[in-house]
Structure 1
Amino acid sequence: MKTIIYTHPDPHSFNHAILTRLCDHFTATAQPFAVIDLYQDHFDPRLTPAELQTYAQGQALDPLVERYQTLLAASDELLLIFPIWWHQMPAMLKGFFDKVLLPGFAFAEDPNWRGLLPTITKASVITTAGETKAELQARPGDPIQTTLINGTFADIGIAPGNCQWLHFGRTGSVTDTARQQFLAALPQLYQQGQ
């Protein structure tokens, strides 16, 4: 099963159009998937003092965290859809990783670090931003590849070679035609990187 982690507060955003396009494609091609919509779920990304106290034991105190962990444990693929703000993922998504990828669930350090989600064999990251992909790779140091793919994904057991990053840039100045062309091509772009 694919699990889509969607992070955008506006249901009328281009990010939401990307989500809808992929969900329609997966439904039409009978590919099982689930969606985690962090804003729709009213997920609290803040790690509370109580959660910090139980973090080392891998104990989740938030019922949403338990639900998300159940979905991830049943997944063989992750898809993340989010805007890039200030060269990084939104704070909501960073909080998801902080609270959901707990020791004993997502990783172990006994004595060497190893990922504990081996059923997730591939991941796709689909982003939007005012900057192009080339600009993000050059100026702020390629945050998606270095931090998310080579860091977080690798740490939970997803090989970087099994990950792809699709990006739609210049969001503030592109035409509606360009947006529609990207949406039309998205299923093929996604499959080409698999």
Structure 2
Amino acid sequence: MVDILNWANFGCDGRWDYAAPFSDCGAEHRRRDLDKDPYTAKYRDVVKKADFLIFIYPIWWSSMPAILKGLIDRVFVQGYAYRYNGVIPVALLKNKKAWIITTNRYTATIC
């Protein structure tokens, strides 16, 4: 059975606000505290409830779009998605699977 979680059902309108308040030097937004950021809590809740994540995006300048990179950097943070055991990263989001589907404008015949 597949249950699709819609961002909107969790108070998220489906749009990531890349201009949300964030400053590496601001006391309320230190990188080590991002797992407690109230702005990203609703997104963390959606990820926690999901068993399977699918990211679909176009390749943009040889990478994912910056807005998606911002979402990943702010939601999948240390203390929530992973922690360190010494220098070894340890996954905290157990029993989750993900697909990444990308698009570009070239066909397989172009070299």
Say which of 90, 94, 98 aligns to 1:118: 94
Alpha-carbon distance in 2 for matches of 1:56, 1:94: 18
Task: Give the counterpart of 2:66 among 87, 91, 95.
Answer: 91
Q: Structure 2 counterpart of 1:35, which letter?
A: N
Aligned-pair identity in percent equals 25
Asked if the contact 2:82/2:90 (under 8 Å) is kept, the reply is yes
Aligned to 1:41: 15
Mapped to 2, the partners of 1:86 and 1:130 lie a distance apart of 12
Number of aligned residues: 104
Tell me which residue corresponds to 2:37: 60
Aligned to 1:143: none
Which residue is 1:81 aligned to?
Answer: 56
Alpha-carbon RMSD across the aligned residues, in angstroms, is 3.0
TM-score (norm 2): 0.74
Aligned 8 A contact 1:105 1:117 in 2: yes
Structure 2 counterpart SS, 1:124:
strand
Q: How much does 1:83 deviate?
A: 1.0
Larger RCO, structures 1/2 (Cα 8 Å, 6+ apart)? 2
Task: Report the alpha carbon displacement of residue 41 of structure 1 after superposing the two structures with TM.
Answer: 2.4
Whichever structure has more helix as a proportion of its residues is 1
CA deviations 1:125-171 (Å, max 9, x no partner) are 22221134687xx9xxxxxxxxxxxxxxxxxxxxxxxxxxxxxxxxx
Question: Closer, same or farther in 2 for the Cα pair 1:106/1:132, shift >3 Å?
Answer: farther
* TM-score normalised per structure 1: 0.45
Conserved? CA contact 2:16–2:67, under 8 Å = no
Q: Which runs of 5+ in 2 are unaligned?
A: none
Q: Map of 1:5-24 to 2, 5 A cutoff? A: none
